[in-house]
Amino acid sequence: MKVLLTGSAGFIGSHVAEELQAAGHEVVGLDVRAGTDVRDEAAVDSSVAGSDVVVHQAAKVGQGVDVADLPGYASTNVYGTAVLLAAMARRGVGRLVLASSMVVYGEGAYECSEHGRVRPGPRATDDLSRGVFEPRCPRCGAPLVPVVIGEDAPTDPRNAYATTKLAQEHLAANWARETGCVAVALRYHNVYGPRMPRDTPYSGVAAIFRSALEAERAPRVFEDGGQRRDFVHVRDVARANLAALAGGEEGTLEAYNIASGEPRTVREMAVALAAARGGPEPVVTGEYRLGDVRHIVASPARARAELGFRARIGFAEGMREFAEAPLG
């Protein structure tokens, strides 16, 4: 197939390009680094022409620094996606694979011993400042137990990036319904691996820790380090995109968690990276960011059943590689 890949020169996009090419697909790249912006209607229309499928990775990433970032997120992620979908409709391209994110869920899923499955709201500033990091039951205030989250969970984006990723899903669903075409949204969990961007305010936590260790600084772990995440290797994410080329249903958007199925804490990740590079040891700071969520652990069951996708690179193996891998 001829695949238009947006964000083809980025961290994840470059790995997706390699996976698609290895499988025999013809890949046409569109990337702002090469001078083509996904918001440029004429350039996008020309790039879409003749494609069999679009794999949409281009996005402004990270949760944002402050509200001044809102126009940039909305412009690139929302308007850029609308431009792309409109071009696909004009050119008769009937399949989209969209890079979405686990951030659309907000907090993960929890159970209360008295009230069962609950969805806590944003954590209170007073709690966070006192070092109380675990969410409370919204009904009785009792401690909660985190459980895995599935694709049918309610969405509750908590920052600019999350809001625009959910908007991308809604736009793709609109496009699929109105055209009768196929849209697959891959909700990436915490992606890491070679070529990950270096330490910036918009980097993922894995890159921030890796950059600190490269500079012989101790990784600074926020809160108490007990935040649970699913760290999934970028080559597994690339394989998920390949699998998604054959997934989905006409006239709708299907969403899939793309995760390893092996949840770890942020502190565990920092310790593993430090050990692989020979230190220094992480420092748990107690600091916090209001936009952060406490636990988000995914069920990858739907992707396994419907796409045939299963992560292959385990946490220990992946962290050993990432500790010495080149960054972007």
What pLDDT band is residue 68 in, cutting at 50, 70 and 90? confident
Segment 107-114 shows an average pLDDT of 94
What tens digit of pLDDT does each residue of 223-266 get? 999 999 999 999 999 999 999 999 999 999 999 999 999 999 99
State the chain's mean pLDDT as an integer: 94
- The type of residue at 254 is E
- The tokens describing 103, both together, are 């951030």
What pLDDT band is residue 281 in, cutting at 50, 70 and 90? very high
Segment 53-78 shows an average pLDDT of 89
Q: Are 138 and 101 in contact (CB under 8 A)?
A: no
What pLDDT band is residue 290 in, cutting at 50, 70 and 90? confident
Check residue 46 and give its pLDDT: 96
What are residue 96's phi and psi, to 5 degrees? Answer: -130, 135
CA distance 208 to 25: 34
Going 169 to 295 to 192 to 305, the CA torsion angle's sign is negative
Check residue 64 and give its pLDDT: 62
Check residue 201 and give its pLDDT: 58
Check residue 159 and give its pLDDT: 87
- The tokens describing 32, both together, are 């702002």
Check residue 65 and give its pLDDT: 60
Q: Are 302 and 150 in contact (CB under 8 A)?
A: yes
Residue 295 has pLDDT above 70, yes or no: yes
Q: Are 158 and 290 in contact (CB under 8 A)?
A: no
Question: CB count, 10 Å around CB of 199?
Answer: 16
Residue 203 has pLDDT above 70, yes or no: no
What are residue 76's phi and psi, to 5 degrees? Answer: -70, -50
Percentage helix, strand, coil for the chain under 3-state DSSP, each rounded to 5: 40, 20, 40
DSSP string, 85-113: HHHHHHHT--EEEEEEEGGGG-S-EEEET
CB crowding 294-325: b at 16 or more within 10 Å, else e: bbbbbbbebbbebbebebebebeebbbbbbee
Check residue 9 and give its pLDDT: 95
Closest to 116 measured CA to CA, from 89, 90, 144? 144
Segment 293-297 shows an average pLDDT of 92
Q: Are 193 and 323 in contact (CB under 8 A)?
A: no
**46: which residues sit within 8 A by CB, 6+ positions away?**
none
Dmax over CA atoms of the chain, in Å, equals 57
Q: Are 30 and 13 in contact (CB under 8 A)?
A: no
CA distance 110 to 156: 14
Strand order in 145-147's β-sheet? 116-118, 109-112, 145-147
Q: DSSP letter for 288, please.
A: -
- The type of residue at 97 is V
Segment 11-29 shows an average pLDDT of 97
Residue 202 has pLDDT above 60, yes or no: no
Segment 97-119 shows an average pLDDT of 94
Q: Are 17 and 5 in contact (CB under 8 A)?
A: yes
Residue 198 has pLDDT above 80, yes or no: yes
What tens digit of pLDDT does each residue of 113-172 get? 999 999 898 889 999 999 999 999 999 999 899 999 999 999 999 889 999 999 999 999
